[in-house]
Amino acid sequence: MIKFTKSEIRDLIISFIILTIAFAISNVGLDVRGFISILPIIMVGVGFGFMLREIGHKFGAMKYGYRAEFKAWPLGLLIALVSAFIGFVFAAPGEIKVFADNLSEEILGKIAVAGPMANILLALISLTIAALTAPLKSHSIIFELIFLMSGVGYSVNSFLAAFNLIPVYSLDGIKVIKWNVGVWLVLFALSVIMMLLSITIGVENMVRFIIDNHLIHPIS
């Protein structure tokens, strides 16, 4: 069973709130009405993506018998807020601290890769839900909200996966690449492609392509 300390829960909540605000600002800027409208949708997408990524790291550490705890990075949270105003969120709110000495690069890499893999999986699940509910969104406000949340879930999670796989200090990518270049290359390429599809084509057009080519049979 995964257990969280009080300080860890506090750091997770603070990071979740700040990331939600940052992603909302990056989408609508200083439009207060737009911010209020999009905030609940962003909250779901960021919430699942951020929490699942950190739980993935924590579970990965526990699998090898190590205690792990999320620690917020105040400077990273501040940078996330500031960068949101230019339309790009520097999403480095903190990291999972593994309490162990002399961890091998293989174990560190496997713990690190669990987060981006969780984001990729959640992005694909979100896209599937969006495709399944797309035909019903014009008939029900509930299905419209599910479609919008799923679209945001795909965009946010593909971005989080790609961003955190960048091989620089403190991000997951540097740990994964030290362990296995091939694994890093495949996951990084996949997450970047997913992110670019979201940016250039858009989730709605992706869903239309999926439905038109009968890749998924939507709910009707």
Contact 137, 143 (CB under 8 A): yes
Known active-site residue 95 = no
Residue of 54, 95, 144, 204 with catalytic role: 54
What's the sign of the alpha-carbon dihedral 112, 174, 46, 6? positive
Residues with active-site annotation: 54
